[in-house]
Structure 1
Amino acid sequence: MIKPKDTKMMKRYVEKIVGHPYLVIFSVLLITLFFFTQFRNLQMMFDPKSILPQNHPYVQLNNKIEEAFGGSRVVVIGIHNKKGDIFNTATLSKVKGITDDVKKIAGIKEENVVSVADRKIKYVVGTEDQIEITQLMNGEVPTTPEGLSELKKRVYSNDLFLNSLVSKDGTAAAVIVDFGPIVPGEWEGEGGAAGAASGGENWQQWQKGEGTVSTGEPKRSQAAPQQTAEKEEGWKKWQGSESNSACGAWQKSEPGKWLADSLIHCQLQDITAKYSDADHQIYLGGMPIVLSYFEADSFRMLAVLFPIAILIIGILHYIAFRTWQGLFIPLVTSLLAVAWAMGMMGLTRTPLDPWNAMTPILILAIAAGHSVQILKRYYEEYERLGDSKQAVIESTTQVGLAMVTAGVIASASFASLITFKLKTFQSFGLFTAFGILSALVLELTFIPAIRSVLRPSHKKRVARGPDLLDRFLSSLASQVTGSGRTIILTGAALFFVISVIGTLRVQVSNSNRSQFFESTLLRQDERALNEKFAGTSTFYILLEAQKENALKNPNVAQAVDRLQRRLESLPEVGKTESYVDYLKQMNQTLNGGDPAFNKVPDAQDQIAQFLFLYSVSGNPADFSRLMRPQQEEAVIWVFLKSDDTRLAEELIQIVEQAGDADFTPHQVSLGVAGSSPVVVALNEEMIRGKALNIIQIAAITFLMTALVRRSLLGGFFVIIPLALSVLINFGIMGLSGITLGIGTAAITAMAVGIGADYEIYLIFRLREEFKKSKNIEEAIRTTLQTSGKAIIFVAIAVSAGYGLLAFTGFYLHMEGILVPLAMLTSSLGALTILPALVIIFKPKFVFDGQEVPLALKPTVK
C-alpha cells in the first residue's frame, strides 16, 4: 500500500516547483531550445538492414552475396510498346537510351545492368571449328528492316532472353539494374567505381563485347576503347540538371553517403520521364521502389498526419475541459515532449525510418493522456478549494505517484522492444521510452509551474462532459456494483476463450508489396511487370565449391540444371538464371543448334573451356554477376512474382533437399539469400522476439505495479485486464486474417504501455475515494465519473491520433486499427473488470486492510 511518507515527499516536491515557477519554466524552455538545435541532424533514411536480424544465417549469407555479386537492390524497368512489338527503331532507341542513362547514376552496379541493348548480353553462333560470340545488339540500334528482323531472330532464338529481357509476346523490353549501398567516393562513370571492382583493369579493351574464338585455341577481337572523358562529361551534365527533375533539393548524391532508395527512385523517374511518350508506357518495380514508397509514406506521416493529430487531440481537450487553458496546456506539454524525443534522435544521429517516424504521434498521444489526468484533477481540486496554487499542489500530490508509476511502466514497455534484434525496433522502442519519460518530467514540472502562474479560468469549475457520457458512466457503475457484475465477468471469460481460438490462428508473414493499396502506382507497375516479365522479387542460391573445379564437374552442373527446372515448376517463379544456362546454350550452338544438345556437356574439360571462352568474349565483368572470376563461387538468380514469405519457405525447403541429395556428395555447399529469404529470417526473429517481448512486458507491468502497491495481488489486478486486451487483439488478427509482421509486432508494447495507465489511475483513485467515503459503491461511482471520464477522453484521443494512420498513407497501417482496438478493450477493462475484481476479492491494497462487508453498503444521499 502507499505509505503517508510517499504522499508527503510528493507534496514537498510540488511545493518547491510551485514556489519557483519561473525558474522551472525557464529551465524547461532552455532544455527544449537545446533539443531544437539538434533537429538539424535529423534525416529520413531507411536502411533495410536495420529491420533485419544481422546474426541470422540467411542475412549473413545475403550480405556475402551482395558484396560478391550484388543483387540486393534490383530494379526492373519495363518499356511497353502500346501499338506493337519492340522491334522498331523508336522503341529500341528508348531501351538503349535508358540502358546508357542508368549507368550514369552514382552507385549503380554497372556489371549487373542488363538489357537487349547492353554489351554484356551475347549472341552465340557456332560453326564447324569455332564459336562466335558477339553482342546481341551490335553496338547501335538497327535502323533497317533487315537489321530489325535479324535482332528479333536473335532474341527469339534463345529462351534466356524471353520473359526476362523481352516479354514472350514481344511488346515489352526490360532493363534490369542494380545499385550498391553507398554513393562511390569518386564516381567514374560506367565501369568505373562500380565496374572496376569486379571487372578488372582492362574492361575498356573489351567494351564492345565482340569476339570470335575457336574451339581449340581461343581468339579475341579487340574493341576500340570508349572515351571516358566523354562519359564523365555526360554524367556531370545529367547530374547537374535540375529542370523538371523528380528529385527535390533535399535529395543529395554525396560521395561516401548512404544511397537512399528515394534518391534511386527519383533519378529513375527522371530517366523514364525523358523517354515516355504517348506510344510507350514505362514501369518501375523492385525493392528500392517499394522502400522508396515506405520513405514517402513516413514523410507524409510527419508532414501531414502529425499536424492533423495535434488538431484532433486539441479539439478533444477543449471538449473535455471547455477552456482554452485546458486545450493548450496539455497540448504544449505534449509537443515539448515530442521536441525532446526528436532532439535526442538528432543528437544521437538516429535516422527517421518508416517505423520510428510514428514516434511523434505516439508520444503526443501518451503525453496528452497523462496531461488530461492531472488537469482533470486540478479542476476538481480548484472547484473544491477555490485557490489555484493549492489546487495545483493537491492535484499533483494526489495524481503524481500514479503518474510516475504509469509513466515508468509505459516507458519500460517500449524500451523492452530491444528484445528484438532489429535496429529499427530498438530505436523505435528506446526513443518512444525517452519521449514518455520526457513527458513525465514535463508533467511533474512544467504543468504545475505554468498552472500556478496562469490565472484560472473565469469559471470556477470546468463544464461537465456530455450528458450521454455521464449517464453511461453512471449506468456502468450500477452494473459493476450490482447484478451486472456477473454478466461482465462472464462476458470477459467468453471473450477470453474466443480470443485464444483466434490467437492460435495468427500467421507470421511479411509481404512488403501486398501492404500497399491496389490504387498506388507501385502496385499497378508491379502488376504490369509481373504480367510481362519474370517478376520483381529476388531469390538467390549461392554455390560454393569446397574443392577446386567442383563447379565444373558435369554432375554438379546437371544438379544445378535440375534445381532450376524444379524451381521454375512453381507458378510464382518467373525465371531462373545461372552459368549452367550458358553452358547449355554454347553446347547446343557448337552442335549446329540441335535441341538434343541443349544440355550440360558431358566432359569437365569442355565445361571449363566454355566458361573460359565466354568470359573472354567481352568485359571480364560481364560474367561476374553469375560466377566469380576464380570460378569457385556462383549464384543462381531466381525472379519471383510474389514476395510472400510462404513462397520463400517453400523454395528454401526445395534448395535444402537438393543440397543434401545432389551437391553435398560433390563437395558443393548451397545457401539462400535475396529479398525473400531475408524476410523469412525476419519472421523467425519476429516469433522469437515477440514471445520474449510479451513475457518481458507482463513481468515489467506486474513487478512495477506490485512494487508501488506493495502487493502481489495489485500486480495481478493490473495484468488481468491488460492481458485480455492483448489477447483480444491477437484473436481479432487471427480471426480476420491479419498477419503478424513488422508493422504489427509493436502493438503489444503500445497496448500495454498506454493501457496500463488506465488501470493504474483507476486503482489509485478508487483507493483514495474509498478512504474518503468508506463505501465501495460510492467510491466506484465517483471514480468512474472522475478518473473514468478522463480515461475515456484519453482513449478517444489516442485512438483518434492512431486512427489517422490507417487509410491516409500509401498502405493500410494496421496500427491505425489495432491500437484503437487496444484502447477500447483496455479502457473498458479498466472501467468494468478491474472494479468488479476489487469488489469480489476486496484486496488490502485498495481498502488498507479495513473490514468490508460482504453486502455493499447503500449510498447515503
Structure 2
Amino acid sequence: MSSNHFSTEPILERFIFKNRLLICLLFLLATLFLSWKMVTGLRVDASFQKMIPLNHPFIQNMLNNMESGSSGNTIRIAVSNNNGDIFDAEYMEVLKNLNDEVFFLPGVDRSKLKSLWTPSVRWTQVTEEGFAGGPVIPQTYDGTQASLDELRQNILRSGQVGQLVANDFESSIISAPLFERDPETGKALDYRGLSDSLEELREKYNEQGVSLHIVGIAKVFGDLFDGVQAIVMFFIMAIGITAVLLFLYSRCLRSTLVPLFTSLVAVVWQIGLLATFGYGLDLYSVLVPFLIFAIGVSHGVQIINSVGVEAAAGADKLTAARRAFRSLYIPGMVALASDAIGFLTLLIIEIQVIQDLAMTASIGVAAIILTNLVLLPVLMSFAGPSEKSVARIRAKQQDEGGVWGLLSHFAHPKVVPVSVVIAILGFGFGIYKAQDLKVGDLDPGAPEFHPDSRYNMDNLFLTSNYSTSADQFVVMVKTGVESCSTYPVMEAIDRYMWKMENVEGVQKAISLVTVSKRVITGLNEGNIKWQTLSRNPYVLNSSVSNAGSLFNSDCSMAPVVLYLDDHKAETLERVVAATKAFAESNNNDDMQFLLATGNSGIEAATNEVIGKAQAEMLIWVYFVVSVLCLLTFRSLRAVFCIVIPLGLTSVLCQALMAYMGIGVKVATLPVIALGVGIGVDYGIYIYSRLESYLKQGMPLQEAYHKTLQITGKAVTFTGMTLAIGVGTWIFSPLKFQADMGILLTFMFIWNMIGAIWLLPALARFFIKSENLQGTGEKKSETSGKLSTV
C-alpha cells in the first residue's frame, strides 16, 4: 500500500459516495431479485455419490461393476420381538406385513430384498438321497406350533443365524438394497422422503409389539436432515447473540443494526446466487450461510469502528464514512479475497460435497465484498454513529493506559523473546501431538452422530446381536466371461479369504467359494474332509449354481465380502494394505482383485483422498494467503508477521484434533482451510494500521499502542463474535457439526490471540531497524505515557 493511502481520495471512493442513492437503489433491486430466487429456486440436495470420491480407483471399480457389485447403499431393518423370540405367530405376521411395505418403498431394489419371508432365503440339507431344501418359510406355513417348529429347523439349516436372524433368536433383519436413482421416476433417490417413510413404519409397528432398529447410508442421510433443521435455531441464536454483543460494543443502535442488516443481505445474496447458478445446499454447505453471516459481521465491525474513530476526531457522518472506506477497502478486500481463496483451495479435494462447500462459501464471500465494503459505509454515511457512542470513543481514546497500554508491551524488547520462545514451544508441542492425528473415522457407528444418538444405538443393537457387522468391505474379482468359477480363480479367492480372515479387524469372509465348499461337502455325505474345492470343472460349476448373488450374470466378476469389526481408520488401513499386497502378487491377465466397494470400501477410498489432499490443501492455502499479503504490503517481513501466527494455530488445531480423537475426514478437513482463510483477517487489519503508524516515524511500541486503540478492540470483538457464533454448534445434535464448532472456535480465538500477541513480537524481528528508532523517546500526548522501550 502506498504511503499516502490514508490521505488520498481514490476514484472508487468518489464514485461510490457521489452516487449514494443510486448505490442503495441498485442494492435494493438486487436484494429483492435474489430474495425471490432464494424462495423459489433453492433446493436441498442430498446425493450418495456427492459424498464419495468418484474419480478414485476404488469407486471407479465399483461403478464399472455396479450391475453385480454391492454399492454399500443398503437399508437393514432389525425387527425385534418385544414379547419373546421370533418363533411366534403374531411376530411372523407382523414381519410379513413389514416386509411387504418395505418391498414397495421408493428406490428399493426389490429383486435383492432379503428377509425370512423372501423366497431367495433358503435352507439346504444333506440326506441319504442327496440334497433337500426350500424356502425358509415353506408354502405350507400357517402359523401353527408345528409350522413354527419347522421354521426353527429351517433357520438352523439355512446358515442365516447371525446374519438375517439374531444369535439370540429375538430379532430378524429385512435387508433392502437401494438404487441411487428411483427406477419409477428416474430422479435421484429422495433420502429424506425415504427416511420419513421408515420412521412412519417404525412408529406404526412399535404399536404392534415389535421394535425397529434401522441402519444404512440412506438412514444416515435422513437423520442428518432432521439434525440440520436445528441449524435454523442456531442461526437465530447467533443473530441474537451477535446483536447483543454489537450493541455492547458500540453502544449505538444504528451501529448495531446496520452491520447486522448488511450481513443478512450477504446471506440472502449468497443463497439467491446459488439458486441462480443452479446449485443447492447439501448437508455440509448448509452450514456455510452461518459462517458468511459471522464473517460479514466481523468485517462490518472494522468499518463501524473506523467510522466511530473518525467521527470522534470531528468528522461529519459523510466524511467519517468516506475516511473509513478509504482506510479499510484495501485491507478489507485482501482479507476477504484471502477468505475466498482459502475456500477455493478445497476444490483440489475430489469429493463433490467439499467442492460444493467451497463454491458456496466463495460466492458468499463475494457477496460480503459488496455488502460490507460498499453498502455498509454508504448506509453509515446516512445514519452515522450516535453522539453517545462518539463521546464514549473519545473518552476511551483519552485513556492513556488501560488494557491497550498493557497489551502494547507485547512489542517491548524484553517481552518479545519470551513470546518467541513460547511460540517455538507451541510449534514443537503441536507437531509432536499432531503425529497422533488420524485420517478417517475413529469411532464405531456413524461418526456424524453422537454415540447416544438413535442411529448409533440402532447400530449398536445390530453389532451386539448379529455375527456379521454393518461394516462391509467388498473386493471384486474380475475374470473373463464364464471364468469366475474356474479352479484357478476359486483357489485364489480361497487363499485371499484365508489371508483376510487372519487380518485383525476382519470378522468373516464370504464368497462363492463359501457356497461351493458347503455344496461339495453335502454331495459327499457331509464329510468335513470334503470341505474343499474340486478341480473338476463340472463339480465346481454345479456347486455354485445356486450362488447367483455372489457372481454376475456372465460370471465375469465374483465379489468377496469382508465383514469388519468397525470402520475405524486403522482397521481400513490394515484391510486395504493386505488386499493390495495380495492383489500385487496374484493379479494376472486372467484375474484381477479390484478394490473396493461396500460401505467400508467407499470409506477407505474417501480416507485415501483426504489423506493425500490434506497436505496439498494446506500448502495451497498458505501459498495463496502469503502471495496476497506480499502483493498488498510489498514486503516479505509483513508476510512473516501475518502468516506465522496462522501456522501456529493450524499446528495446535491438529494437536487438539489428535487429543480429542477427531479424525481428518469430510466434515473436519474444510475447517483447516476455513480457519486459515478467515483467521488471516486479524493480521491484515492489525498490520495495515501498524504499518501506517510506523511510516509516520513512530517507535514500534507506540505505533502498536495506537493500532490497538483503533483496531485492537475491533479485532478482539471480531474474534469473540466469530467464536461465540460457531461455538453454539458445539450443542448440535449432529456430532460432525459439533466437531466443526469446537475446531472453528479454537482457531478463531487462537488466530485472534496470535495476531495481538505474536504479530508485534515478530514485527520487532522482521521490520527494518530504522522503523524502530526513537524507542526510548517519550511517547506522544495522543498515545499517553508508556514505559520506555
- TM bracket (short chain): over 0.9
Q: Compared with structure 1, are the counterparts of its residues 9 and 683 closer, same or farther at alpha carbon in structure 2 (3 Å cutoff)?
A: farther
Q: Compared with structure 1, are the counterparts of its residues 526 and 823 closer, same or farther at alpha carbon in structure 2 (3 Å cutoff)?
A: same
Give 1:14's aligned residue. Answer: 13
Q: AA paired with 1:173?
A: S
Extract unaligned runs of 5+ from structure 1. 187-254, 615-622
Q: In the alignment, does 2:534 pair up with 1:535?
A: no
Extract unaligned runs of 5+ from structure 2. 785-789
Instruction: Report 1:338-487 matches (<5 A).
Output: 338-454=267-383, 456-459=385-388, 461=390, 463=392, 471-481=402-412, 483-487=414-418
Q: AA paired with 2:225?
A: E
Q: CA deviation at 1:152?
A: 0.7
Deviations 1:564-598 (A, max 9, x none): 45544567545443223332333333344444444
Counterpart-to-counterpart distance in 2, 1:376 and 1:382: 10
Counterpart-to-counterpart distance in 2, 1:68 and 1:304: 44
Q: AA paired with 2:228?
A: S
Give 1:560's aligned residue. Answer: 493
Counterpart-to-counterpart distance in 2, 1:272 and 1:458: 62
Give 1:214's aligned residue. Answer: none
SS in 1 for 2:730: coil
Give 1:265's aligned residue. Answer: 195
Give 1:288's aligned residue. Answer: 218
Give 1:811's aligned residue. Answer: 735
Q: CA deviation at 1:27?
A: 0.5
Q: CA deviation at 1:601?
A: 4.0
Instruction: Report 1:806-845 matches (<5 A).
Output: 806-812=730-736, 813-843=738-768
Q: CA deviation at 1:557?
A: 2.7
Q: Compared with structure 1, are the counterparts of its residues 735 and 130 closer, same or farther at alpha carbon in structure 2 (3 Å cutoff)?
A: closer
My pick for the range that moved more, 772-781 or 663-672, is 663-672
Give 2:627's aligned residue. Answer: 703
Counterpart-to-counterpart distance in 1, 2:309 and 2:119: 79
Give me the identity figure in percent. 22
Q: CA deviation at 1:624?
A: 4.5
Counterpart-to-counterpart distance in 2, 1:756 and 1:675: 38
Q: In the alignment, does 2:570 pair up with 1:640?
A: no
Q: In the alignment, does 2:657 pair up with 1:733?
A: yes
SS in 2 for 1:341: helix
SS in 2 for 1:281: strand
Q: Compared with structure 1, are the counterparts of its residues 653 and 115 closer, same or farther at alpha carbon in structure 2 (3 Å cutoff)?
A: same
Q: Compared with structure 1, are the counterparts of its residues 604 and 8 closer, same or farther at alpha carbon in structure 2 (3 Å cutoff)?
A: same
Q: In the alignment, does 2:686 pair up with 1:762?
A: yes
Q: Compared with structure 1, are the counterparts of its residues 596 and 856 closer, same or farther at alpha carbon in structure 2 (3 Å cutoff)?
A: farther
SS in 1 for 2:124: strand
Deviations 1:91-126 (A, max 9, x none): 122222222221111211112211121111122345
Q: In the alignment, does 2:529 pair up with 1:590?
A: no
Q: In the alignment, does 2:776 pair up with 1:852?
A: no
Counterpart-to-counterpart distance in 1, 2:194 and 2:238: 31
Counterpart-to-counterpart distance in 2, 1:699 and 1:455: 39
Q: Compared with structure 1, are the counterparts of its residues 462 and 529 closer, same or farther at alpha carbon in structure 2 (3 Å cutoff)?
A: farther
Counterpart-to-counterpart distance in 1, 2:699 and 2:544: 90
SS in 1 for 2:189: coil
Q: Compared with structure 1, are the counterparts of its residues 500 and 660 closer, same or farther at alpha carbon in structure 2 (3 Å cutoff)?
A: closer
Instruction: Report 1:668-687 matches (<5 A).
Output: 668-687=592-611
Counterpart-to-counterpart distance in 2, 1:83 and 1:782: 75
8 Å CA contact 1:559–1:663 kept in 2: the answer is no
Q: In the alignment, does 2:26 pair up with 1:43?
A: no
Counterpart-to-counterpart distance in 2, 1:95 and 1:406: 60
8 Å CA contact 1:420–1:686 kept in 2: the answer is yes
Q: Compared with structure 1, are the counterparts of its residues 92 and 592 closer, same or farther at alpha carbon in structure 2 (3 Å cutoff)?
A: farther
Q: In the alignment, does 2:484 pair up with 1:551?
A: yes
Deviations 1:438-490 (A, max 9, x none): 11111232112211222642426163599999843321113432532222222
Q: In the alignment, does 2:409 pair up with 1:502?
A: no
8 Å CA contact 1:649–1:677 kept in 2: the answer is no
Counterpart-to-counterpart distance in 2, 1:266 and 1:66: 27
8 Å CA contact 1:536–1:639 kept in 2: the answer is yes
8 Å CA contact 1:645–1:676 kept in 2: the answer is no
Which structure 1 residue ranges, 4+ long, deviate > 6 Å from structure 2? 465-470
Counterpart-to-counterpart distance in 2, 1:508 and 1:851: 46
Instruction: Report 1:768-807 matches (<5 A).
Output: 768-771=692-695, 774-807=698-731
Deviations 1:527-579 (A, max 9, x none): 00111121222221212113x54322235334434544554456754544322
8 Å CA contact 1:182–1:258 kept in 2: the answer is yes
My pick for the range that moved more, 835-844 or 403-412, is 835-844
Give 2:58's aligned residue. Answer: 58
Q: CA deviation at 1:810?
A: 2.6
Give 1:250's aligned residue. Answer: none
Counterpart-to-counterpart distance in 2, 1:780 and 1:455: 27
Q: Compared with structure 1, are the counterparts of its residues 42 and 708 closer, same or farther at alpha carbon in structure 2 (3 Å cutoff)?
A: same
Q: Compared with structure 1, are the counterparts of its residues 851 and 278 closer, same or farther at alpha carbon in structure 2 (3 Å cutoff)?
A: closer
Counterpart-to-counterpart distance in 1, 2:91 and 2:441: 37
Counterpart-to-counterpart distance in 1, 2:594 and 2:609: 22
Give 2:787's aligned residue. Answer: none
Give 1:235's aligned residue. Answer: none
8 Å CA contact 2:250–2:389 kept in 1: the answer is no
Aligned alpha-carbon RMSD (Å): 2.7
Q: AA paired with 1:825?
A: W
Give 1:256's aligned residue. Answer: 186
My pick for the range that moved more, 739-748 or 388-397, is 739-748
Counterpart-to-counterpart distance in 1, 2:578 and 2:636: 52
Aligned residues: 775
SS in 2 for 1:410: helix
8 Å CA contact 1:644–1:676 kept in 2: the answer is no
8 Å CA contact 1:128–1:590 kept in 2: the answer is no
8 Å CA contact 1:69–1:624 kept in 2: the answer is no
Counterpart-to-counterpart distance in 2, 1:460 and 1:746: 39
Counterpart-to-counterpart distance in 2, 1:168 and 1:570: 24
Deviations 1:285-334 (A, max 9, x none): 12222232233333322x22111111111111111101111111111111
8 Å CA contact 2:109–2:178 kept in 1: the answer is yes
Q: Compared with structure 1, are the counterparts of its residues 506 and 624 closer, same or farther at alpha carbon in structure 2 (3 Å cutoff)?
A: same
Counterpart-to-counterpart distance in 2, 1:90 and 1:469: 83
SS in 2 for 1:459: helix
Q: CA deviation at 1:796?
A: 0.5
8 Å CA contact 2:698–2:771 kept in 1: the answer is no
Q: AA paired with 2:609?
A: E
Counterpart-to-counterpart distance in 2, 1:295 and 1:21: 43
Give 1:752's aligned residue. Answer: 676
Q: AA paired with 2:773?
A: V
8 Å CA contact 2:136–2:158 kept in 1: the answer is no
Q: Compared with structure 1, are the counterparts of its residues 455 and 441 closer, same or farther at alpha carbon in structure 2 (3 Å cutoff)?
A: closer
Instruction: Report 1:25-174 matches (<5 A).
Output: 25-39=24-38, 40-126=40-126, 131-139=131-139, 141-159=141-159, 161-174=160-173
Give 2:450's aligned residue. Answer: 517
Q: CA deviation at 1:37?
A: 2.2
Counterpart-to-counterpart distance in 1, 2:336 and 2:689: 16
Give 1:178's aligned residue. Answer: 177
Q: Compared with structure 1, are the counterparts of its residues 17 and 746 closer, same or farther at alpha carbon in structure 2 (3 Å cutoff)?
A: same
Instruction: Report 1:563-582 matches (<5 A).
Output: 563-568=496-501, 572-582=505-515
Q: CA deviation at 1:713?
A: 2.0
Q: Compared with structure 1, are the counterparts of its residues 5 and 260 closer, same or farther at alpha carbon in structure 2 (3 Å cutoff)?
A: same
8 Å CA contact 2:53–2:59 kept in 1: the answer is yes
